[in-house]
Chains A and B, each alone.
Chain A
Amino acid sequence: KQEVTQIPAALSVPEGENLVLNCSFTDSAIYNLQWFRQDPGKGLTSLLLIQSSQREQTSGRLNASLDKSSGRSTLYIAASQPGDSATYLCASHSGAGSYQLTFGKGTKLSVIP
């Protein structure tokens, strides 16, 4: 059974700092990995999807990497802004039929002005 872990559970940084969020998974036979953002009381917004054949994806100030052999993914946020404050969730797709997502518990990010 796939297990996804995110460390740290919470992170506070000053505005402008670059930061890295970590995600690890136990089963390296993932189909793809997806990073989401969740604001308090809201649904999930997809940020980046990395397919198993890819090593990284970039969107604006965000860069996500995937290392299947080590069971790790990272989300890099450059030049953080207060508007980046949210909970960031990573999730793996099994790819075996249902493509259901297995989520970590998330990292709550606070960017201090």
Chain B
Amino acid sequence: DTGVSQDPRHKITKRGQNVTFRCDPISEHNRLYWYRQTLGQGPEFLTYFQNEAQLEKSRLLSDRFSAERPKGSFSTLEIQRTEQGDSAMYLCASLTSGRGNEQFFGPGTRLTVL
């Protein structure tokens, strides 16, 4: 257990539905990251927050995706009008400056879009 938690661990939804995932980082970590991992691939960066500010978004993050980190604590990732291509593992990571900026990952949320 790295101290980063994600909820839910698994989500099955029908195409066109909206889904929301939650990430709780390690409490003292000011930076939070979302990645997406498809089968047989390494994780790909989606977006990151420093405290409550979303500072960078990948081109992978289409306008159907939105992420928030209110009050600089937990974060949510919402996908609207899900498509089958959204099926993947969504991973959250956090870090704090120092320790070489080592990132600690949560267990992930596995999304299956039918």
A46 touches B42 (CB 8 A): no
- From known contacts A42-B107, A44-B43, A44-B91, infer whether A49 and B48 are also in contact, taking CB-CB under 8 Å: no
* Interface residue? B105 (CB, 8 A): yes
Determine chain A's interface SS by DSSP, over half rule: strand
Q: Which chain A positions have C-beta within 8 A of B35?
A: 101
Kindly identify, within residues 49 to 81 of chain B, every residue whose CB is under 8 Å from any CB belonging to chain A. Answer: 55-56
A-B contact count (CB 8 A): 67
A32 touches B100 (CB 8 A): yes
Q: Which chain B positions have C-beta within 8 A of A34?
A: 102-103
Q: How many chain-B residues does the 8 Å CB contact rule pick out? A: 29
Q: Which chain B positions have C-beta within 8 A of A36?
A: 105
Q: How many chain-A residues does the 8 Å CB contact rule pick out? A: 27
A98 touches B108 (CB 8 A): no
Kindly identify, within residues 57 to 113 of chain A, every residue whose CB is under 8 Å from any CB belonging to chain B. Answer: 89, 91, 93, 95, 97-106
User: In the complex, what distance in Å separates the CA atom of A43 from the CA atom of B41?
Assistant: 13
Question: A residues near B, CB below 8 A?
Answer: 4, 31-32, 34, 36, 41-46, 49, 51, 89, 91, 93, 95, 97-106
Question: B residues near A, CB below 8 A?
Answer: 2, 4, 6, 31, 33, 35, 40-45, 48, 55-56, 91, 93, 95, 99-108, 110
